Structure 1
Amino acid sequence: MTVIPRTRRAALVSAVCTLVVGGLGLTGCGGEDPDEGTNGVGKLTPEKIQSRTKAAATAADTVRLSGAVVSNGRTYKLDMRLKEDGGTGSVTSEGSTFRLLKVGEHLFLKADAEFWNNQGSGKDGEEGKGRDESETAAADKLDGMYVKVPTGDPAYKRFSGFTDKDVLLNSLLTLHGTLSTDGYHEQSGTRTIRITGDKGSGGTLDVSLEGTPYPLRLVRAGDAGTILLTDWGKNFTLAEPDKKSVVDYGKQLPTS
């Protein structure tokens, strides 16, 4: 009698399993069902999965976003906690890190003197170049302080989107092109179903198969960044800084 080595037996079993599943449309060998014990969204069409996860994200009170976003040619590394009435966290861009805090319509920006010195255009036409002593002194005064951003300032429009839960999620959770599913995966220990736009070129989104079908990981189209979405529904305190820590710069910030 010929004895088949264990590794070869495993390979034969795997091959037979693949043929059975592919030929008969079964969910797996041995009767395994990848949707067993899940919230069931894995059985839906990719369009319905996207609709369900967007609805879940919109309904959630809070979320944490971390990762990178490419916008207007700049890469922003984010670590933001968001809720319906604002958000807080850090943003890193072009080597500078600053903190954002938005409570209602009030937006505050906190950074060091180097950040403020690198803002604006000097006489040499480059950011941070040709600044006079008064501008440097102003930057020193802003060092480590929360600066209240005027609503009419270009910086308000530029940065407030990072602290607006609905705006940010609506812009991020859209896949481009024809939707399809790309199998079952896992994100930080949670089972997921992955949907893609144009087989990945239009972005990919991993949706939780456990509990509420929240989006957990997004790879944006066009190499525009990867975002992790965590802490769904976990409450956190959001409050304006005390007055001693705030500088009201006036009508316009010294930014480009």
Structure 2
Amino acid sequence: MTAMPQGRTRRAALVTAICALVVSGTGLTGCSEDPDEGTNGVGKLPVAEIQRKARTAAGTADAVHLSGNLVTSGRIYKLDMQLKSDGATGSVTAQGSTFQLLRIGEQLYLKADSGFWSDAGNDGKADAGAVDKLNGKYVRVPQGDPAYKKFSGFTDKDVLLEGLLTLHGKVATDGRHEQAGVRTIRISGDKGSGGTLDVSLEGVPYPLVLTRAGGGGTLTFSDWGKDFALEKPKKGDTVDYGKQLPTS
């Protein structure tokens, strides 16, 4: 048997001792000298390549579940959306009101309670009869209506991801982390002030958590590639607004 060099023996003994402390203190089941052992290898790549792989993975995935807070134009939107190329479904909360969005192909529907429609009227006032008609119904949003562009933006997977998965400033790796039990490599812009993105080190290198620059919100991505059903609302559950929809 070939004897192990003395320096290597000491190093191995030190690693074993550290592992024993980590395992006893945290309940972990193992320890390795190589932080990339058992990963997809993305953590070893240059930061530009990590970004490229994450964007490619996101762009080629058939579907994703996006949730969290998005701050834009001074407003906070809480999103819980399932997105895929031909549509989306989920909810958006803004200024204390929650509404449901459903897009199937080019057809967009918005569903909200009477409180939403009352607040959305001119100067916060809306016709009581119209409010009752719209309460709890799927409202078809005409493509020519200004509200279509605004609301459909929350349902467009490609547009959302293209805009969100962008870090600002000088981008660098920012250590290995863990999100929902999944090991990640974090990349950040300008040491975090330009936003951070955690990319999975397990399986496909999907983006998992994004913290946007300038307090722009934090979003979590999950269920990558997991399909979901989109069903057109029943005729009795659908109404036409009949006039220009509110955009605020």
Q: Give the TM-score of the pair, scaled to structure 1.
A: 0.83
**Contact in 2 for aligned 1:192/1:208 (Cα 8 Å):** yes
Superposition deviation, residue 48 in structure 1: 0.8
Q: Which segment drifts farther, 99-108 or 232-241?
A: 232-241
**Contact in 2 for aligned 1:193/1:208 (Cα 8 Å):** yes
**Contact in 1 for aligned 2:147/2:246 (Cα 8 Å):** no
Question: Residue type of the partner of 1:226?
Answer: T
Superposition deviation, residue 254 in structure 1: 4.5
Superposition deviation, residue 244 in structure 1: 1.1
Q: Does 1:212 align with 2:204?
A: yes
Please show how residues 215-226 of structure 1 align to structure 2 within 5 Å.
215-226=207-218
Hey, what does 1:173 align to over in structure 2?
165
Distance in structure 2 (CA, Å) of the matches to 1:254 and 1:214: 36
2:65 partner SS: strand
Aligned length: 221
Please show how residues 60-139 of structure 1 align to structure 2 within 5 Å.
60-122=61-123, 128-129=124-125, 131=126, 135-139=127-131
Question: Residue type of the partner of 1:179?
Answer: V
Question: Residue type of the partner of 1:104?
Answer: G
Aligned-residue sequence identity (percent) comes to 66
1:181 partner SS: strand
Q: Which segment drifts farther, 147-156 or 184-193?
A: 147-156
**Contact in 1 for aligned 2:114/2:136 (Cα 8 Å):** yes
Superposition deviation, residue 250 in structure 1: 3.1
Distance in structure 1 (CA, Å) of the matches to 2:198 and 2:239: 41
RMSD: 1.6
**Contact in 2 for aligned 1:152/1:251 (Cα 8 Å):** no
Distance in structure 2 (CA, Å) of the matches to 1:114 and 1:244: 21
Residue ranges of structure 2 left out of the alignment (5+ in a row): 1-13, 19-30
Query: Given the alignment, which residue of 170, 185, 201 partners 1:193?
Result: 185
Q: Give the TM-score of the pair, scaled to structure 2.
A: 0.86
Distance in structure 2 (CA, Å) of the matches to 1:194 and 1:153: 40
Large movers: runs of 4+ above 6 Å: none
Distance in structure 1 (CA, Å) of the matches to 2:129 and 2:246: 12
Q: Does 1:51 align with 2:52?
A: yes
2:120 partner SS: coil
Question: Residue type of the partner of 1:196?
Answer: S
Residue ranges of structure 1 left out of the alignment (5+ in a row): 1-12, 18-29, 123-127
Q: Does 1:202 align with 2:194?
A: yes
Superposition deviation, residue 121 in structure 1: 2.5
